[in-house]
A and B are shown apart, each in its own frame.
Chain A
Amino acid sequence: MNIKITKYYYGDIPEEKSAGSTYQSAQDATTWPLWEIFIRSKQGLDHKHVGSLHAADAAMAMENARDVYTRRQEGVSIWVVESKYITASNPEEAGELYEPAVDKIYRHPTFYILPDEVNYM
């Protein structure tokens, strides 16, 4: 039996074969700022950081966040914050910031030994 299958070359075949290139693209005059995206996955839960994206303004950041982060119903509410407004703690200061809590075990309920009769406190 003689089977013929059609292969389409249009739109997907090289004009010529060549290696390397010296292409230099022009620089954009401006760049869109970076935004951090927070999503509430369902009513009753906190907004959680999911990632970031570039957008010209808040409305565009919102639209892009919808398209990128909620294509499969991952959210019911979106917050967008321009990244430059976020102040982050410095990992090198972790010691001063978090270590003082280490020896304050009396802040935890398990520190207190109560008689068995006092259930569920």
Chain B
Amino acid sequence: MSIQNFEQHFQAQIDNEIKIEPKDWMPEAYRKTNIRQISQHAHSEIVGMLPEGNWISRAPSLKRKAILIAKAQDEAGHGLYLYSAAETLGMSRDEMIADLHSGKAKYSSIFNYPTLSWADVGAIGWLVDGAAIMNQVMLTRTSYGPYARAMVRICKEESFHQRQGFESLLVLSKGTAEQKAMCQDAINRWWWPSLMMFGPKDTESTNSDQSMKWKIKRKTNDELRQNFVDMIAEQIKVLGMKLPDNKLNWNEQRKHYDFGEINWDEFWAVVKGNGPCNKQRLAARRKAHEEGRWVREAAMAYTEKKKSKSSLEAA
């Protein structure tokens, strides 16, 4: 088969909803796009543990602490599923980690914002995990098999993340005046960054068309963002709080909520490394990796030693 035939066959497979598996022929750009997207997604799960991890030792009760630890552990697992999926495309785990640490690879900008009060943990669960879920549910149907399977597993675990966040805010929203203020303050700070999680507007997004054609993505950034706004605008009523957007309004014609303009300058500044916590997040990852090196090497040395011992005994 010529390259064109391979490409036609590949596109036909995708059009017929047949998943692409690791050993199948695929265009180089498809492989690259998937590696970039899946590894970025993995990095986001791992770096995402940091802002919340900040509150594990200061959670207000043993119950909340156990919940938060369980959530962070889930996120570590999500990172692992995704790294494994990306590895099937031929990039090693070490290369991916090195790219994260050098700043070459990106992760979701949302994790470059600080967690300043306990209410932030609830707001992250509800808004940040909530936004992530919109994207992840779509990705359970992505065209690359290992990515889709990882997403199915992740989505099963995510819904507890969002529910525990909302429930935690619900408790605050019924609490003292200080607790209510804390709840509103956290929502004010996390709302706009959550909307930015869906990425640039469709008109500005360069990768979108090809990704849609290859069914890596199945909904555009703006579609997902609108779905999210519609969902949260209803849920916030239960909390008795307000979203910090005075343009937020139900549009009877569109059957969607209208909302205000995102601060795109802020979005790009954070993506480019100038968010409030970019530097600190990367420093924390590097430190963990560097300080864990001797453990990784010792474990391998122990394995080698056991192997040579058993081969001696066999001889």
- Where the two chains meet, the residues of B that have a C-beta atom closer than 8 Å to any C-beta of A are 21, 23-25, 51, 54, 58, 70, 73-74, 77, 80-81, 84, 87, 92-94, 97-98, 101-103, 114-117, 149-150, 153, 157, 177-178, 181-182, 185, 272-274, 276-280, 282, 286, 289-290, 293, 296-297, 299-300, 302-303, 306
Contact = CB atoms under 8 A, between A and B. Distances in A.
B78 to A, nearest CB: 10
B290 A25 contact: yes
Contacts of A9: 114, 116
A27 interface: yes
15 contacts: A6-B117, A8-B117, A12-B115, A12-B116, A13-B276, A14-B279, A19-B272, A25-B102, A30-B300, A51-B149, A56-B300, A57-B302, A68-B77, A72-B157, A91-B23
A13 B73 CA distance: 23
Interface string A28-61: 1111101000000000000000111110110010
A28 B114 contact: no
Given A5-B117, A18-B279, A51 B84 contact: yes
B101 A25 contact: yes
- Chain B contact residues: over half helix, strand or loop, or mixed? helix
Nearest to B301: A30
A118 interface: no
Interface residues of A, number: 47
B279 A71 contact: no
Nearest first, the 9 closest Cβ-Cβ pairs linking A and B are: A19-B273, A56-B299, A7-B116, A12-B114, A30-B300, A57-B303, A21-B103, A56-B303, A3-B181
Contacts of B302: 56-57
Contacts of A67: 73, 77
A95 interface: no
A68 B80 contact: yes
A29 B297 contact: yes
Contact of B102 (A14, A23, A50, A51): A23
A11 to B, nearest CB: 5
Contact of A28 (B81, B94, B303): B94
Contacts of B73: 67, 71
Contacts of A51: 80-81, 84, 149-150, 153
A4 interface: yes
Nearest to B177: A3
B57 to A, nearest CB: 9
B9 to A, nearest CB: 11
A26 interface: yes
B289 to A, nearest CB: 6
A28 B181 contact: no
Given A5-B117, A28-B293, A51-B150, A21 B282 contact: yes
Interface string A63-78: 0000110011000000
B293 A34 contact: no
A34 B102 CA distance: 24
Contact of A53 (B80, B117, B299): B80
Contacts of B101: 23, 25
